[in-house]
Amino acid sequence: MVTDGVQVKHHDVAAELVDDADHVIQVVGEKKKAFEMTVRFFCYQVMSSSISNIVGTVLGHPLDTIRVRMQIETGQTSFLRTCTETFRGEGVRGFFKGLVSPVVGVTPYNTLVFTVTEAMK
């Protein structure tokens, strides 16, 4: 009879170990999913904030170019006149002159700011 009791105890211990192992596997699986979601969220945030910053910079740069040219020009000038002179002298490319510098300089900073802001919500 003692051996039967020992077998029952071994069976109970084995069942508890299996249950514990199942629980550990479940917890690890949940942690892995949470990590994957965090990585996915981070990648999504970095990509979306980078793209939005680049689009915003590209769309706003022609206005900055005209503004700077109006400030540099001596005498009185108008927005329309500066646009016309830029287009006649340099074509459409004239409006985007110097675009690389703001895109390269500001995009990493804005990406970091947007990503951290979203992560803190």
Q: What's the pLDDT score for residue 99?
A: 93
* Domains held by the chain: number: 1
> Quick count: other Cβ atoms within 10 Å of Cβ 111?
20
- How far apart CA 26 and CA 20 sit, in angstroms, is 10
Residue partners of 45: CB distance under 8 A and separation at least 6: 114, 115, 118, 119
Per-residue pLDDT tens digits for 28-72:
777 777 666 677 888 888 898 899 999 999 999 999 999 999 999
Host domain of residue 88: 2-120
- How far apart CA 3 and CA 1 sit, in angstroms, is 5
- How far apart CA 12 and CA 118 sit, in angstroms, is 49
pTM of the complete model: 0.64
